[in-house]
Structure 1
Amino acid sequence: MSTTPAAATGPDLGGLPNGRVPRALREEQLLDTALSLFAASGYEATSIVDIAAAAAVTRPVVYRHFGSKDGIYLACLRRARSELDDRLASAVAPETDAEQRLRAGIGAYFSFVEEHGREWDVLFGGGMPKDGPAAEGANEMRHRTSALLTGLLKVSAPEVDAQRLEVFGSALNGMGVELARWWRRNPGITRDEMVEHYFALCWDGLRVYVP
């Protein structure tokens, strides 16, 4: 489950010459390439020069599509964030009970970690920007996970104090990040085992308030 940098990664360009690659396909290639580099080396240690070289394009091509390093970094985050949000939303069926929703949400989260390790590393791992627009955007997207979890808790326990649910949502988010970080260092543990560990930690506290 380790992360390794990839050069010229991304969609198959089918032998198209650089000047004839459709814009959408080029953007996907650049995002895949940048994501690998950000995951492996972090934001600060990755430059536009690195991204351009790994994608076998010139720097102006990267600037033309994304404007800046902050631009391509945030685009990587948005794409990864969208995938994670979609997985969580589709996994948690409103007609199930709270225990089933929690287990399904945890399963979806660890499926994302397992199948999209690079994306998780960029969203939640180390090597994040220290300040500026990229840091602000990254923090805002991470906070969205807490807000999403809080919203799911409100569905299960609408009578519980809103502030308490926000505290739980934030705690669940932080716990999930730390458990996933540990799992990335200990890949011998199965996904199902991680789901059970996370569920056991969460459920005893939550069921006092969630019917």
Structure 2
Amino acid sequence: MGGARTKRMPRAVREQQMLDAAVQIFGRRGYMVASMDEIAELAGVSKPLVYLYLNSKEDLFTACIRREAAALTEAVRAGVRPDLPADRRLWDGLLAFFAHTAEHPEAWSVLHLHARTHGEPFAAEVAAMRAEIVAFVTRLVAIAAREAHQDPDLPEDEVAGLAEALVGAAESLATWANATPGVTARQTAGTMMNFAWAGLGNLMAGQRWVPEPT
């Protein structure tokens, strides 16, 4: 009698295994330098199987961006409880963001660095993720303004600008934190809150900074 046949791994599981390996290689080495041979070896599969499942290096990189972008946006959304005060919602969202980027540094490198530097269609994929996060933060700022004032809300363009500034600062801080040994996600979120909420808190209380007349 022949030996027992090895149970085949389901395609979905094998594909995620390939994506896990690809994110590590792309994140560490960049899109141009990374090779399909390296990815296949790390995934424990043959290179032809990677091509069979994911078609091309470009398609593989796009799949990595989409998966990691979805995971990051979901982590931020899941971290925020709508029944809490505005400052606590912002804190929880920032903590979720920095915890995720710290736990998945190669994925953050793929999204924030490599995908943006190789043109379309990669940059467009990251731009879509960023727009979703900015829209989420915009709603948080708008809700904070409504809670602080019976009437009126902050102007729409000012809310949008504040959200863009917050997201941009958080992105830069996440990259710095991942490159700085010993910095925790909680410390990074605290730094961001100290930078952002003190100013936002004054703004919500109607205390605006204006330049002195010249």
Q: Could you say which TM-score interval applies, normalised by the shorter chain?
A: 0.7 to 0.9
For 2:82, give the aligned amino acid: P
1:88–1:105 Cα contact (<8 Å) kept: yes
Alignment of 1:46-61 (within 5 A): 46-61=34-49
The TM-score, its normalising length taken from structure 2, stands at 0.80
Match of 2:182 among 188, 193, 210: 188
Q: CA deviation at 1:126?
A: 4.7
Percentage of matched positions with identical amino acids: 31
Tell me which amino acid in the other structure corresponds to 2:183.
I
1:169 aligns with 2:163: yes
Q: How does 1:129-144 map to 2 (within 5 A)?
A: 129-144=117-132
TM-aligned CA deviation for residue 30 of structure 1: 0.4
* Structure 1 residues 100-125: Cα deviation after superposition (integer angstroms, max 9, x where no partner): 11111111111112222222222223
Task: Show structure 2 runs of 5+ residues with no match.
Answer: 147-152, 206-214
For these two proteins, the number of residue pairs brought into alignment is: 195
Q: Following the alignment from structure 2 to structure 1, what is the Cα–Cα distance between the partners of residues 55 and 127?
A: 21
Larger Rg: 2
Output the CA distance in 1 between the equivalents of 2:14 and 2:117: 25
Cα distance in 1, alignment partners of residues 54 and 203 from structure 2:
46
Q: Distance in 2 between matches of 1:33 and 1:88?
A: 24
What does residue 109 of structure 2 align with?
Answer: 121
More moved, 28-37 vs 42-51: 42-51
Amino acid aligned to 2:69: R
Q: Tell me which of 61, 68, 92 is aligned to 2:80.
A: 92
For the residues of structure 2 that align with 1:76 and 1:152, how far apart are their CA atoms? 28
- For the Cα contact (< 8 Å) 2:86–2:144, is it kept in 1? yes
Question: Which amino acid letter does the alignment assign opposite residue 65 of structure 2?
Answer: L
Tell me if structure 2 keeps the 8 A contact 1:98–1:210. no
Alignment correspondent of 1:149: 137
Are the equivalent residues in 2 in contact too, given 1:84–1:112 (CA < 8 A)? yes
1:42 corresponds, among 30, 40, 49, to: 30
Q: CA deviation at 1:84?
A: 1.8
- Ranges of 4+ aligned residues in structure 1 off by more than 4 Å: 126-129
CA RMSD of aligned residues (A): 2.3
